[in-house]
Amino acid sequence: MTPRIIPTRRRSMTELHEIEPFGAAFHESEGKPHNIRMALALKAVAERAPIDFLPGEYMPNASPVTPTSGVYYTFGSGFAVDEGKLRENEERYPELAGELRAIREDVCRFSTGAVLAASKDRTMERLASTGACWGGGWAGHSNPDYDRLLSLGTSGIRDLIRSCRTENLEAGDFYDGCEIVLDALDILGQRFRKLAGERAAAAGSEEEKRIYGKLAETFGVIPQHPATDMCAAVCLFWMVFTFDGIDSPGRLDQFFLPAWSRTDPEEARFWLDRLWQAFHRTRTWNLCISGSDENWNDMTNDVTWAVLDLAEKYRYQTPNITMRVHRNTPEALWKRAAEVLSTGIGMPALYNDEVMCPALEKMGIPPVHSHLYCMNGCNQVDIMGKSHMGLEDGEVNFGKCLEYALWDGFDTMRGEQLSIHTGNAAKFKTFDELMKALFWQIDHVTDVSVALSLCSQMAYAKTAPSPLRSCLLDGCLERGRDYKNGGPLYGDGQILSEGMPDCADSLAAVKKFVFDEGRYTMAELLDALRVSFKGHEDMLAVLKTAPKFGNDDPYVDGIMKELSDHWFAYLKTKHTFRGGTFAGGCSTFNRAAGNGRACPALPNGHLRGDPMFSDCIGAVPGQDVSGPTAAVKSALTYDQTEVTSGFVFQLRFDKALFGTEKGMDSFIHLAKAYFAGGGQQLSVNVLSADELKDAQAHPEKYGDLIVRVGGYSDYFVRLPRDLQDNVIARTSY
């Protein structure tokens, strides 16, 4: 479609900045250090971006991506260039075509995506394209120190910059960029103040006049100065959170507590409610509540309870609420969490400090900081205001790794040799030979994921410095280093697993029926797998009777332990560009069905291209048939203190169980037992299979039905059909 051409007339350079604020400012600063060019471009966006200020919402914000922009920056996409949009603008505004063309030719050299694509090894990319793994591709989440922002304001952060400059004289350009982006925040505050004042003057009621007047007064103080009440705290947080690109709030109940304590309770709840509505209009990610300090003191506070009240009241799918628990968690908080879960929203997900903190401490993070952990994105783990741990750095599909072990590195879905040679499996005489080949394949695919992630980390550090986040993460200002270039105190990485239960079940079937009982030879098994069991239905039926993970069966659970122990240990031999070490996790997001489709027939009975695939560390959907206690015991097979990313364990319960106090008490007892045994995380769906099936058939009746999938909650009817099938197939207790 040809873009509409704006009638020819003399256009000013001011209009150029209105069309491409980021690109124009970046281009005009050519010759300056890259981080300063980025900061100046963000400042230009702050000056011109449309302000989103919906009537009745009272939550002004400005996006870093303006409607006409073909070039922009956000925390996750980096230096983003939409060349098609840039060319469209050249056609739409012919009198500025020369200037717009010059911008396009300049910025394309710095595109994070282009730089990353040019740096990747094509052989590795071919392997990743099969669904065997992925690595990098975007910058990842992090949790800025909003407490620093709210308690210091931009003026206080400038004081910190001045202090740090004297210790890092060679980093003057870095600090200049940070100061410029603080200018951008101050400009936004001035624009918000002006607009709020105009709204107050035109208000149609005394209540609106009061609220808009309060906002105008508040933006006369923030962002330069600390937030003294909940109105200021909420508005300052939201202004920076949205201008940064919308990520994860992190430990909101902790950084809002000082302002909450200084505000009338009714007023405080009003502003938190306004923020909740703003969250709902966006895909806000992880919000963490409660937890312990390094001395195991409970950190539950009034904001914690208020968050749970809002979650129950509105039943939104966002933000993604997680709740930390530990030895001193109040019994009343456990019960309140169960009540909120009974609504069916799948939140809060529960995290165990007793496992998570020691896991982080194994990585060298001291208790005073490990107890500051929070989740972001779906359920990845960060140290609030002190780390950039990738989130997510990559992923390994264990189903594909097993495929390569069975077929000597040949990808049967693609029909070509894509992985390393590890031997002809038809000639394997022992189960140990198969495991050895599998470990080689796992190591190789992990190496590819890590290598691709390192390419991504370096590309983002080179093209997309973040002066804003550098102001809000401990270590950056103190070291004079950017957030993406080793500035934060902790720079570890997190590679996620897919299909580990499918792999363990498959190995159990091979071990039992080939090597232990001798019912089939490896050659016979491979013949059946090659044709996805067509003509071998009897063998398929036998293989499906093998022990399945999730049923407290030592036969398969022992295989899972060997499998997971190997991978966790191997990952920790790999180092990040950011200055840390990789470790593992499991957060499938919405990828489980796609990973299943990428796999050929497997010995557990998975058919070629079947989207049914494990979506957490628990059983393959529908295979845990021995009750929730058995499912929990199997999940405790993993050494979860070796895991520093979220390790999602999902259980589904029937609504009837949560409909009684006794039922909820039973759930709490089960959760406590899992955590006492060494479990890290628990996600819960409270749904009925009949309801889910009816929602598939009549989606128009279930627009508000929420389910938990792969570490986050979403509306069931919005999920792809195969992912809906995955949710329905989970065993319900």
User: Which strand (E) or helix (H) includes residue 655?
Assistant: helix 655-658
- CB count, 10 Å around CB of 468? 26
Query: What pLDDT, in 10s, does the model give residues 327-358?
Result: 999 999 999 999 999 999 999 999 999 999 99
DSSP 490: B
Q: What is the CA radius of gyration of the chain?
A: 27
Tokens of 20: 């491409």
* Distance separating alpha carbons of residues 87 and 350, to the nearest angstrom: 48
Judge whether 679 and 355 are in contact, CB under 8 Å: yes
Could you tell me which residues are beta bridge partners of residue 351?
Answer: 324, 681
Backbone angles phi and psi of 134, in degrees to 5: -150, 165
Q: Which residues of the chain have pLDDT under 50?
A: 1-10
Q: How far apart are CA 727 and CA 709, in angstroms?
A: 7
Q: CB atoms < 10 A from the CB of 432, how many?
A: 10
Q: In what order do the strands lie in the sheet with 650-653?
A: 286-290, 320-325, 349-352, 681-686, 650-653
**Coil, strand or helix: which one is 643?**
strand
State the Cα–Cα distance between residues 529 and 457, nearest whole angstrom: 38
Among the residues of 488-620, which ranges form H helices? 500-510, 522-530, 537-543, 554-571, 592-597
Structure tokens at 614: 């494990």
Chain-centroid distance of CA 419 in Å reads 29
> How far apart, in whole angstroms, are the C-alpha atoms of residue 349 and residue 337?
9
The pair of three-digit structure tokens given for residue 137, joined into one six-digit string: 């591709």
Per-residue exposure over 690-729, b if at least 16 CB sit within 10 Å of its own CB, e if not:
eebeebbeeeeebeebbbbbbbbbbbbbebeebbbbbbbb
Q: Among 452, 436, 308, which Cα is nearest to 393's?
A: 452
Hey, what are 678's tokens? 């060494």
Residue type, 725: D
- DSSP conformational letter for 167: T
CB of 243 within 8 A of CB of 223? no
Q: Angle between the 500-510 and 398-406 helix axes, to the nearest 10 degrees?
A: 30
- Tell me the per-residue pLDDT of 209-262, one tens digit each, with 9 for 90 and over: 999 999 999 999 999 999 999 999 999 999 999 999 999 999 999 999 999 999
**Nearest-CA neighbor of 733 among 693, 694, 688?**
688
| Residue 703: predicted pLDDT | 82
Cβ atoms 383, 367 nearer than 8 A: no
pTM over 0.75: yes
* Cα(586)–Cα(495) distance, integer angstroms: 8
Place of tokens 């949710």: 727
User: Residue 8 has what pLDDT?
Assistant: 44
How many other CB atoms are found less than 10 A from the CB of residue 660?
11
Helical segments of 646-720, H only: 655-658, 661-676, 689-697
CA distance 116 to 434: 36
Strands 380-383, 373-376: parallel, antiparallel or unpaired by DSSP?
A: antiparallel
Q: Which of 203, 299, 176, 189 minimizes the C-alpha distance to 240?
A: 189
Q: What angle do CA 204, 205, 207 make, to 5 degrees?
A: 140
Helices (H), ranges, 93-229: 97-107, 112-119, 122-128, 146-165, 172-201, 206-218
Q: What DSSP element (H or E) covers 73?
A: strand 71-74
Q: Which residue from 499, 616, 501 is spatially nearest to 547, judged by alpha carbons?
A: 501
CB of 156 within 8 A of CB of 226? yes
Instruction: Look at residue 52 in the predicted model and tell me its pLDDT.
Output: 95
Q: How far apart are the first and last CA of the chain?
A: 53
**Rounded CA separation 451/124 (Å):** 8
Instruction: Give the pLDDT confidence score for residue 244 in this predicted structure.
Output: 95
**CA geometry: angle 347, 584, 575, nearest 5 deg:** 135
Cβ atoms < 10 Å from Cβ of 670: 18
